[in-house]
């Protein structure tokens, strides 16, 4: 049987033909990455709903002639500028890494094969294929050596499809086994998967618990803003009895702090900075939620080869079995290794050692596949040879099988060279197998593997070693790394099919060998059915389905293009030890965003409540005839109130180290502090204002003193909320809090800033009452924090649990 059929023109296009197609625009002009352009980034960060609200309010304040009170307009510039800068930095990092990571097809031109970038493929290019190669454009098969294509990423069909000459192949699929070549018939945006890939590779924030939680919070706030805003507008313009200028500035002062203008910005910044930090470690984050998702993972399924062990292997020994001589075995091995067009690490190690090829001509070939665990070549009169797993090709009770198992138990990789009684491409191959030799290969354990496993163990993250190799060999590697349960490796061929039973085994065992690709996928699903968040690491074609189904897929940069295409995270340095940094970055993002969310939402709650209280008091004044009440603050007051209780501290806290474990329930935890704290601040500020309020006919000095009294109370309690959010304390957090307090002392005591911001704490009685109201509020907020912890069973600490522990 002829194993390769070639169409005419197998030398590929000529250089002149390639150049002509480029001039005609017949290139694969799909962008390398679907990230937003700089123009789109600028537009998205400038034209936001929050900027629109602040912009309208800024125009209203400017109409009163009070430029100072329009300082909050700087938020528009700051929000946009910081967001643009960070996203562009992240975009550049991602785009550079994506170019390194992208699949590079091998095209044949002028009879010479060489790798090119996907965008350099032109129409009618002849593209060579081997196991693990991604199909980058649509085409028609021109050469086929038992070529099998997996189209599951496009069609959902998990079984590989045989592709003979003339068969169509679609971009987005990948080669499972065999080799061949296809001619590009559709390139660029005409290709089947171009639009799908364009959407799938976008740098987005979708499907994130953190982002969806913030969206829920913002919806809740929106419902509060509408009635509170309308009530404030009515009170200031119609009930307060003030002229239009102070009425408008009061209305704006009431509305501005209701908008959590920095919350979405801080979230985006934290994610973007995370991407840049991980990019410096040669970690490509293909989807933003992966940073957050890996921080929530509680089970990591790790492939052995390429993850716990290094990719490269070395031929250690060839143990000749009865009935064969050393010369014949070495010739067969050298021939098979030399004829394999896409050798894996094992075959490559054999080829590097056995360089004297016998020059045999093969008549049939059976490419290696993860399903059957063997490959083979038929060499006519020289015999039909198989190379594969001993425990698959041999009778388990045989002496040769026992020898192979003993060698494998030492952590060595063992392959069996055998002769078959029929051609290797026969339907019933391998047939009767006659063992010829045991090929002993050494694989090196990664030096950083043990430290990485120890890290995950310390973080209560379970490790499941899932490998296609012999279970005894996998167990030896796991045991050498002190993985709990590693010495009791499970042969996956004896695993139950039923999901519940499989999940029971996975809960109890840690190490599995002889796992088929479909079993890897089933194991991921079984773990997920028990509520686990599963990360899958891998580098081979046999890992693709499991990577795709896992919560977080992590591919090695040196792995097959197909694994890199479906993974959310690609470790370009091929280091399993990079994963702890990704986990740490995710925890930093989640923990810190939760902290700053508390600050922003507390401000929103107290602003809305204060607006309601003032507004209801204004409505009540019309009904019951008492003196109307205007809003206590100028826009400049709410601006400085946010500077050191939220703005600057939130920015610093959002970028700080944080190793706290990620937990679900983000929204409820934030609301548990923000709502009661906001209520306390709002009520205490309102009471302090009522104490100091001298009526609508009050002098400017009395109005300033009343506003200052309310502002002191608000800042005191808001600072205490900051102090709570910053816990547990480390030195730099203490410095941050003390510096924020000192900044307010300066604002309230230096004559220039007092006059500039219209602050007057000179009335001792009113200032004393402000401190009393603030102190009561502080006690209440502190009590709420401890009571909430007791009710929900949460641990509270003022300092880290261990020396040097990150907070």
Active-site annotation, residues: 303
Structural tokens at position 472: 């005894």
Which helix (DSSP H) or strand (DSSP E) does residue 283 occupy? strand 283-285
Closest CA to 556 of 583, 534, 576: 576
Within 13 A of 413's CA, how many CA atoms are on the CB side?
Answer: 26
Strands (DSSP E) found in 518-620: 534-538, 552-556, 569-571
- The burial of 664, by beta-carbon neighbours within 10 Å (0-12 exposed, 13-18 middle, 19 or more buried), is given as exposed
The secondary structure of residue 25, as a DSSP letter, is: T
In this structure, the number of other CB atoms found within 10 A of the CB of residue 355 comes to: 9
Pairing of strands 552-556, 569-571: parallel
First to last CA, the chain: 67
Q: How far is CA 131 from CA 19, 94, 118, 151, in A?
A: 30, 27, 18, 14
- The burial of 127, by beta-carbon neighbours within 10 Å (0-12 exposed, 13-18 middle, 19 or more buried), is given as buried
Give 348-351's long-range contacts (Cβ < 8 A, gap of 24+).
Answer: 348/313, 349/312, 349/313, 349/314, 349/315, 349/441, 350/315, 350/439
**Calpha distance 501→508 (Å, rounded):** 11
Contact 646, 599 (CB under 8 A): yes
Give 783-788's long-range contacts (Cβ < 8 A, gap of 24+).
Answer: 784/673, 784/676, 784/677, 784/680, 785/673, 785/724, 788/672, 788/673, 788/676
Which helix (DSSP H) or strand (DSSP E) does residue 317 occupy? strand 309-320
Q: How far is CA 409 from the centre of its chain?
A: 37
**Calpha distance 602→605 (Å, rounded):** 5
Closest CA to 639 of 258, 69, 221: 69
**Calpha distance 293→287 (Å, rounded):** 10
**Calpha distance 658→275 (Å, rounded):** 16
Closest CA to 546 of 591, 492, 584: 492
Q: What does R_g of the chain's alpha carbons equal in angstroms? A: 34
**Torsions phi, psi of 728, nearest 5?**
-70, 150
Q: What torsion do the CA atoms of 643, 644, 648, 650 make, to the nearest 10 degrees?
A: -110
């Amino acid at each position: 049987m002829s194993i390769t059929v070639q169409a005419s023109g197998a030398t590929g296009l000529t250089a002149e033909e390639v150049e002509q197609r480029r001039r005609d625009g017949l290139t694969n002009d799909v962008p390398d990455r679907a990230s937003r352009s700089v123009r789109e980034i600028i537009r998205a960060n400038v034209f936001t709903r929050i900027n629109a609200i602040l912009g309208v309010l800024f125009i209203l304040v400017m109409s009163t002639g009070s430029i100072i009170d329009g300082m909050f307009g700087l938020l528009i510039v700051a929000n946009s500028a910081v967001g643009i800068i960070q996203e562009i930095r992240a975009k550049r990092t991602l785009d550079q890494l994506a170019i390194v990571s992208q699949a590079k097809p091998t095209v044949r031109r002028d009879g010479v094969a060489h790798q090119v970038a996907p965008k350099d493929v032109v129409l009618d290019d002849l593209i060579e294929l081997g196991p693990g190669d991604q199909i980058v454009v649509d085409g028609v098969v021109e050469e086929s050596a038992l070529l099998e294509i997996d189209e599951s990423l496009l069609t959902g069909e998990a079984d590989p499809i045989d592709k003979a000459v003339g068969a169509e192949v679609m971009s987005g699929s990948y080669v499972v086994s065999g080799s061949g070549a296809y001619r590009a018939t559709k390139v660029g945006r005409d290709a089947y998967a171009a639009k799908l890939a364009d959407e799938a590779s976008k740098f987005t924030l979708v499907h994130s618990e953190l982002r969806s939680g913030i969206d829920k919070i913002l919806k809740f706030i929106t419902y509060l803003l509408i009635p509170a805003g309308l009530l404030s507008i009515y009170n200031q313009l119609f009930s307060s009895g003030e002229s239009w200028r102070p009425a408008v500035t009061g209305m704006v002062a009431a509305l501005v702090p209701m908008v959590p203008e920095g919350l979405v910005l801080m979230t985006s910044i934290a994610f973007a900075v995370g991407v840049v930090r991980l990019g410096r470690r040669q970690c490509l984050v293909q989807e933003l939620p992966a940073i957050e998702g890996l921080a929530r993972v509680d089970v990591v399924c790790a492939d052995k080869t390429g993850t716990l062990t290094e990719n490269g292997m070395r031929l250690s020994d060839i143990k000749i079995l009865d009935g064969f001589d050393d010369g014949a075995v070495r010739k067969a091995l050298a021939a098979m290794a030399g004829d394999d067009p896409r050798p894996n690490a094992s075959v490559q190690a054999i080829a590097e050692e056995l360089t004297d090829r016998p020059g045999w001509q093969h008549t049939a070939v059976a490419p290696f596949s993860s399903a059957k665990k063997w490959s083979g070549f038929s060499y006519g009169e020289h015999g039909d040879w198989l190379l594969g797993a001993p425990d698959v090709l041999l009778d388990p009770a045989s002496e040769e099988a026992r020898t192979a198992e003993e060698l494998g138990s030492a952590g060595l990789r063992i392959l069996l060279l055998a002769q078959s009684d029929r051609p290797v491409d026969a339907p019933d191959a391998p047939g009767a197998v006659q063992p010829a030799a045991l090929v002993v290969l050494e694989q090196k354990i990664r030096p950083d593997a043990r430290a990485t496993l120890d890290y995950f163990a310390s973080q209560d993250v379970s490790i499941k070693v899932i490998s296609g190799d012999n279970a005894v060999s996998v167990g030896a590697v796991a045991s050498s790394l002190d993985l709990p349960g590693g010495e009791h490796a499970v042969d996956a061929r004896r695993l139950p099919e039923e999901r519940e039973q499989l999940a029971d085994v996975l809960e109890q065992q840690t190490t599995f060998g002889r796992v088929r690709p479909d079993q890897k996928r089933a194991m991921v699903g079984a773990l997920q059915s028990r509520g686990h968040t599963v990360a899958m690491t891998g580098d081979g074609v046999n890992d693709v389905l499991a990577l795709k189904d896992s919560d977080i897929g992590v591919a090695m940069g040196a792995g097959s293009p197909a694994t890199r295409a479906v993974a959310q995270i690609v470790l370009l340095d091929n280091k399993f030890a990079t994963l702890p940094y990704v986990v740490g970055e995710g925890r930093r993002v989640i923990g810190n965003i939760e902290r700053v969310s508390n600050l922003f939402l507390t401000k929103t709650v107290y602003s809305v409540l204060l607006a309601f209280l003032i507004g209801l008091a204004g409505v009540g004044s019309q009904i019951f005839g008492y003196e109307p009440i205007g809003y206590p603050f100028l826009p400049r007051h709410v601006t400085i109130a946010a500077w050191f209780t939220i703005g600057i501290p939130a920015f610093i806290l959002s970028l700080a180290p944080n190793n706290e474990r990620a937990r679900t329930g983000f929204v409820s935890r934030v609301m548990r502090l923000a709502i009661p704290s906001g209520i306390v601040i709002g009520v205490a500020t309102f009471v302090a204002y009522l104490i100091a309020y001298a009526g609508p006919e009050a002098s400017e000095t009395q109005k300033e003193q009343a506003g200052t009294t309310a502002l002191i109370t608000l800042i005191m309690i808001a600072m205490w909320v900051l102090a709570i959010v910053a816990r547990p304390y480390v030195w730099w957090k203490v410095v941050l809090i003390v510096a924020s307090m000192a900044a307010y002392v300066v604002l309230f005591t230096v004559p220039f800033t007092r006059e500039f911001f219209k602050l007057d704490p000179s009335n001792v009685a009113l200032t004393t009452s402000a401190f009393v109201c603030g102190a009561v509020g502080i006690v209440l907020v502190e009590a709420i924090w401890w009571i909430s912890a007791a009710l929900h069973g949460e641990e509270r600490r003022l300092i880290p649990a261990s020396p040097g522990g990150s907070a």
